[in-house]
Chains A and B, each alone.
Chain A
Amino acid sequence: MLKLIGGLLVVSATGLAGWAVARVYARRPVELRLFISALQMLETEITYVATPLPDALDRVAQQVEFPVALFFRRVARELGQQAGCSAREVWNRALEWYFPKSALVRNDLGILRGLGNNIGISDRDDQGKHLRLAAEQLKMALAAAEESASKNVKMWNYIGLLGGLIIVLALY
């Protein structure tokens, strides 16, 4: 009886661990999609309405879902404080803060950082180009992320459960 309970515990523990890894793979495409739609909103705000950047980012933060909203809200708030920092510094700091919480990989971060180097500092046409470029790059990353998600989500779920079973059988 004790053995059975122990075995169940081992299987559920490894199963949960597998599920946690799988979840990171499953979350990345969701987050990338949110970022893409956020950038599209930002593009509209900037190129059609010419909303000042802090206000535009705030509007995006209100419309986009968790967790991406956290990033935009932070940038909007810091820019609104007028601490004398450039938008690039604020954007990059917020990215570093957001990255550990997110399911994004370094490559995705690089795309967003590239956008941060240019955000707000040129005319409307140019801003539109930079935002569209970043959105396109994120779409490519999204396709790759979806592919790896479809492979890895199932795999890690199985690895978790089956790995647990193997340990249990070996110990039995």
Chain B
Amino acid sequence: MGGLPLTGPGEAPAGAWRDIMPFLSPSLKELIAGVPPGYLAQLEEIRLRRDKPLMLGMAGRDFFVRKGGGLETRPEGGYIVEAGDLEKVIQNISGHSIYALEEELRNGYITLPGGHRVGLTGKAVLAGGRVKTLKHFSGLNIRVCREIKGIADRVIKHLIDYKADNVYHTVIFSPPRCGKTTLLRDLVRLISNGVPGLNFPGRTVGVVDERSEIAGCHRGVPQMDVGVRTDVLDGCPKAQGMMMLLRAMSPDIIVTDEIGKMEDVQALEEVFNAGVRVIVTIHGSSLQELVNRPALKYLLQLNIIQRFVLLGRSRGVGTVEKILSGNDLPRAGVKMCSN
């Protein structure tokens, strides 16, 4: 089961950049509106750094915008971002209420309506050795959210457990930036809505979204389509969040991102014991690499994970390289016992 290219069926919405326009300062708005629409459709990020040229990341490359409009690959002659631009953009994204975003500033990012992310840098204000908030903002990175519906269509059929009328315990793993979270989000949507073509009726999904990446919540409300039977705990630490969902929302499946710490694995164990299925993502390029990390080794030794999905970029971001079942583990060369 290898080598499914995933980039085909789903495309990111071309008009996503329009969501971001209302948050820009008038002068930036004018400049960006002057960029050819064909480029804007591929807009990935807008970088604002104080007293540095405005930079747009499009189609995997960096562009600078000239003062009169028009794109440039070299920074000379580019529009220089002024303090006033940054101030206005920050005020707009915070709804003129920096004071209401203490938690977000501590984490260093804000989620906008539409699920777009704004990363911030500036001077950190410390209290008791921990970051309390940021001030004197100097840099902003507005990342356009790329919700790609349909990329899980070809994976979901390998994950359905018809005997239990549920999904298998699944681990999605890959090196960074191979589309784990994007695939996970689309899986959540499919599992939650149900897949009529596969005779799968849809189950209640609980999502612990510690970094607001799966559902892209803005003020607690998911901005991306995560399905009708999905409950999202936004910004909650994974281990605590899984317990809260388990007790409070009686989910059939619990989904979370970036498992790695021992406490996460312990919480997962509780979830297994409650008979709830689990789909998680993990950083790592091979099963052997996962086994080398003590917490994950423990997880694999429980021998309860039934499906492993390895993503890669061999045919573009989000290519499914391999789908293994739990029984394949010894054959895949993973030593399951420590002795």
B100 in contact with A86 (CB, 8 Å): no
CA A84 to CA B132, docked complex, whole Å? 27
CA A53 to CA B97, docked complex, whole Å? 5
A50 in contact with B97 (CB, 8 Å): yes
Which residues from 66 to 122 on chain A have a C-beta closer than 8 Å to any C-beta of chain B?
Answer: 79, 82-87, 119-122
A53 in contact with B88 (CB, 8 Å): no
Given A46, A82, A84, which contacts B99 in the complex, CB threshold below 8 Å? A46
Which residues from 7 to 48 on chain B have a C-beta closer than 8 Å to any C-beta of chain A?
Answer: 22-26, 29
Do A53 and B135 contact each other (CB < 8 Å), given the known contacts A84-B24, A84-B88, A124-B102? no
- Closest CB in chain B relative to A93 CB, distance in Å: 14
A84 in contact with B29 (CB, 8 Å): yes
- Closest CB in chain B relative to A128 CB, distance in Å: 9
- Closest CB in chain A relative to B132 CB, distance in Å: 8
The binding surface of chain B is classed by DSSP as helix
- B92 on the interface (CB 8 Å rule)? yes
Instruction: Encode contact with B along A41-61: 1 for CB under 8 Å, 0 otherwise.
Output: 000001100111110100000
- B95 on the interface (CB 8 Å rule)? yes
Chain B residues in 8 Å Cβ range of A47: 99
Question: Which residue of chain A has the shortest Cβ distance to B137 in the bound complex?
Answer: A121
B102 in contact with A79 (CB, 8 Å): no
Which of B94, B96, B132 has the most chain A CB atoms inside 10 A of its CB? B96
Given A52, A56, A122, A124, which contacts B135 in the complex, CB threshold below 8 Å? A122
- A157 on the interface (CB 8 Å rule)? no
CA A158 to CA B98, docked complex, whole Å? 52
- B193 on the interface (CB 8 Å rule)? no
Of the four ranges (under 10, 10 to 19, 20 to 34, 35 or more), the interface on chain B belongs to: 20 to 34
CA A151 to CA B152, docked complex, whole Å? 79
Do A120 and B97 contact each other (CB < 8 Å), given the known contacts A82-B22, A84-B24, A84-B25? yes
A123 in contact with B96 (CB, 8 Å): no
Chain B residues in 8 Å Cβ range of A14: none
B96 in contact with A120 (CB, 8 Å): yes
Which residues from 50 to 103 on chain B have a C-beta closer than 8 Å to any C-beta of chain A?
Answer: 84, 87-88, 91-92, 94-100, 102
Question: Which residue of chain A has the shortest Cβ distance to B95 in the bound complex?
Answer: A52
Chain A residues in 8 Å Cβ range of B91: 86-87, 120-121
The binding surface of chain A is classed by DSSP as loop
A84 in contact with B96 (CB, 8 Å): no
- B204 on the interface (CB 8 Å rule)? no
Given B24, B98, B125, which contacts A121 in the complex, CB threshold below 8 Å? B98
Given B92, B95, B133, which contacts A123 in the complex, CB threshold below 8 Å? B133
CA A121 to CA B91, docked complex, whole Å? 7
Given B24, B94, B99, which contacts A124 in the complex, CB threshold below 8 Å? B99
B100 in contact with A51 (CB, 8 Å): yes
Chain A residues in 8 Å Cβ range of B22: 82, 84
Chain B residues in 8 Å Cβ range of A56: 97
B98 in contact with A123 (CB, 8 Å): yes
Which residues from 17 to 61 on chain A have a C-beta closer than 8 Å to any C-beta of chain B?
Answer: 46-47, 50-54, 56
Instruction: Encode contact with B along A118-143: 1 for CB under 8 Å, 0 otherwise.
Output: 01111110110000000000000000
Chain B residues in 8 Å Cβ range of A86: 84, 87-88, 91, 96
Give 11 pairs: A residue, B residue, CB < 8 Å, sorted on A: A50-B99, A50-B100, A51-B100, A53-B95, A56-B97, A87-B91, A120-B96, A121-B96, A123-B125, A123-B135, A124-B102
B interface vs A, CB < 8 Å? Answer: 22-26, 29, 84, 87-88, 91-92, 94-100, 102, 125, 132-133, 135
A interface vs B, CB < 8 Å? Answer: 46-47, 50-54, 56, 79, 82-87, 119-124, 126-127
Contacts A86-B91, A126-B99 supplied; 7 other A-B pairs, CB < 8 Å: A47-B99, A52-B100, A84-B22, A122-B98, A123-B98, A123-B125, A127-B99
